[in-house]
Amino acid sequence: MTLHHRLLLRQIRKHLGPDAVIPEPWASLLRAVDDTYVQFDSDRKLAERAMLLSSDELVAASQKLGAQYARNLEVLNRLHAAVSALRPAERAWRGWRMTCWRSPACWRS
């Protein structure tokens, strides 16, 4: 009987002894268990690889979004500065109004 999975071989040695003779009815069961162990390991490795690739893709997408956010913020700041430069009188009036609103001395004038 040829078994391939190291864990199953270790379990057989531990529980039945290193020189155990496996009867034929049990051999087919152990071959099925061995096949299941091997398939499980294969599936696990495949899932781990898929998660690693997905993780790498998400990190790349996150970095790309962070760079795009920085560019958008820079454009918004430039637009804000341009609008403020085009309306200096309104900015001065708004500043005076806000200062005056807080000061009762301005109410008398």
What is the chain's pLDDT, residue by residue, as a tens digit (109 residues)? 688 899 999 999 999 998 888 888 899 999 999 999 999 999 999 999 999 999 999 999 999 999 999 999 999 989 888 887 877 666 555 555 555 555 556 555 4
Place of tokens 């997905």: 54
Contact assessment for residue 1 and residue 30, using Cβ atoms and an 8 Å cutoff:
yes
pLDDT at 68: 96
Burial code of 30-69, b = ≥16 C-beta within 10 A, e = fewer? beeebeebeeeeeeeeeeeeeeeeeeeeeeeeeeeeeeee
pLDDT at 94: 58
Residue 30 identity (one-letter amino acid): L
Contact assessment for residue 49 and residue 42, using Cβ atoms and an 8 Å cutoff:
no
